[in-house]
Amino acid sequence: MARLVMKFGGTSVADLDRIRNVARHVKREVEAGHEVAVVVSAMAGQTNKLVEFCRDASALHDAREYDAVVASGEQVTSGLLAIVLQDMGVNARSWQGWQVPIKTDETHGAARIKEIDGAFLSERISQGQVAVLAGFQGISPDNRIATLGRGGSDTSAVAIAAAIKADRCDIYTDVDGVYTTDPRIVPKARRLDRVSFEEMLEMASLGAKVLQVRSVEMAMVHGVRTFVRSSFEDPDAPQVGIGNLPPGTLICDEEELVEQQVVTGIAFAKDEAQISIRDVADKPGVATTVFGPLSESNINVDMIVQNISPDGQTTDITFTVPETDYQRALKVLEDNRDEIGYQNIEGATDVVKVSVIGIGMRSHAGIAAQCFKGLAEKNINIRAITTSEIKISVLIDSDYTELAVRTLHSLYGLDG
């Protein structure tokens, strides 16, 4: 007997038929003798609609009321799944975030989980009752509903798994695992049997939306064995994959990896915008006058490129910000124009950040050079570059996204 958390994303619970399919997956595990907690997302598209309602109601809405509205999608699916399970003869009940309780901080709209007392939940599931939890939500210190940021049900699931000391957290989604890149963009993408926490963290942060970034952080910190698999496989088919696991991808410690490639995957993120400040005085402290006000306005700067000026007089600074903060960033720089002292500002939102990820890069030289050469051969211009120990990111025109991702995927021998 094991203790399992099973998480089902939006497409997996998109309608009643799919919810019935989910219930069959749950029933299978219950009948195998396992203790089960389930975490569900809202039906696909539902959260977007709710977000839209809030925006239409008022551009400057109260974040606490936004949370009250957008958390409702998960309330519906948790209740419906409990009803369907009961109908199949499985003992089940739904739980909202506040009932557990899942305590968060006060950052409404992007709250962090602070604490989960899993005792009550553990007691119920050990008595054989399936707990169906609404993902994406918790309760803030001021006793209000708080949501965890888009894609947050993954984080709910991993946090619950840590709190009830589950043996595994199964993330059921619309793909049968983590691939070398988004299989929707590269049909030759290959499923990975295992990925280290660290690589998964980079892949998620750099745009692979298969897992929310915070869920991976949490899995890494608490050592939660996280397994990504498909909800669309026949629930009653034999569960045979690798190493006593069904087909899917295990996110685990580096030591558990069997074979190690230099490059594990390619990710891309289209939600960045580029800003270039032209002819800034090339003197000490200029970076502070640019990035200080941005940081005070809570705008995250990601890639930064600054040239050395040929004449020691003026230089150009290029950097990226989240696309959602683009207009605000331009305004901040405009407001601080006198202090910074520049000729003009240029910007672009039609850019994409493409990243190559792999822990093997720590011990292999030349990976970056290979990437630049490969892109050059396809005539793809690089606007900015950043690297870390296990990744290289390049900023390019978004028109070249697919070409760049496919080129790099083949170049590093990832094609299946």
**Which is nearer to ligand ADP, 148 or 286 (by Cβ)?**
148
Nearer to ligand ASP, 44 or 305 (CB): 44
Helix (H, G, I), strand (E, B) or coil at 12: helix
Question: What does 248 bind: ligand ADP, Mg ion, ligand ASP, none (CB cut-off 5 to 8 Å by kind)?
Answer: none
In whole angstroms, give the CA distance from residue 260 to residue 195. Answer: 9
Interface with ligand ASP (CB under 6 A), residue from 150, 191, 222, 278: 150
Residue with the CB atom nearest ligand ADP in the bound state: 9
The answer to whether residue 135 forms part of the interface with ligand ASP (CB under 6 A) is: yes
List strand residue ranges (DSSP E) for 45-129, in order: 92-95, 102-104, 113-116
Instruction: Give 366's contacts (C-beta < 8 A, 6+ positions apart).
Output: none
Token pair, residue 3, equals 């203790």
**138 in contact with ligand ASP (CB under 6 A):** no
CA–CA gap between residue 111 and residue 349 (Å, rounded): 27
With H, G, I as helix, E, B as strand and everything else as coil, classify residue 311. Answer: coil
| Site membership for ligand ASP, residue 152 (CB under 6 A) | yes
Q: Any contact of residue 47 with ligand ASP (CB under 6 A)?
A: yes
* Shortest Å, Cβ 362 to ligand ADP: 21
Question: Nearest CA to 42 among 87, 12, 85?
Answer: 12
Between 63 and 185, whose beta carbon lies closer to ligand ADP? 185
For the CB of residue 186, give the shortest distance to ligand ADP in the complex, in Å: 9
Only segment of 4-12, 69-77, 198-206, 289-297 that touches Mg ion (CB under 5 A)? 4-12
Q: Please tell me the number of Cα atoms within 13 Å of 277 on its side-chain side.
A: 27
Any residues with CB less than 8 A from the CB of 337 and at least 6 apart, and which?
none
Taking each helix axis as running N to C, give the angle between helix 153-163 and helix 213-222, from 0 to 180 degrees, rounded to the nearest 10: 10
Residue in 22, 29, 30, 41 binding ligand ADP, rule: CB under 6 A: 41
Q: Which residues bind ligand ASP (CB under 6 A)?
A: 9-10, 41-42, 47, 73, 135-136, 150-154
Q: Which residues bind ligand ADP (CB under 6 A)?
A: 9-12, 41, 151, 173-175, 178-179, 181-184, 208-210, 265
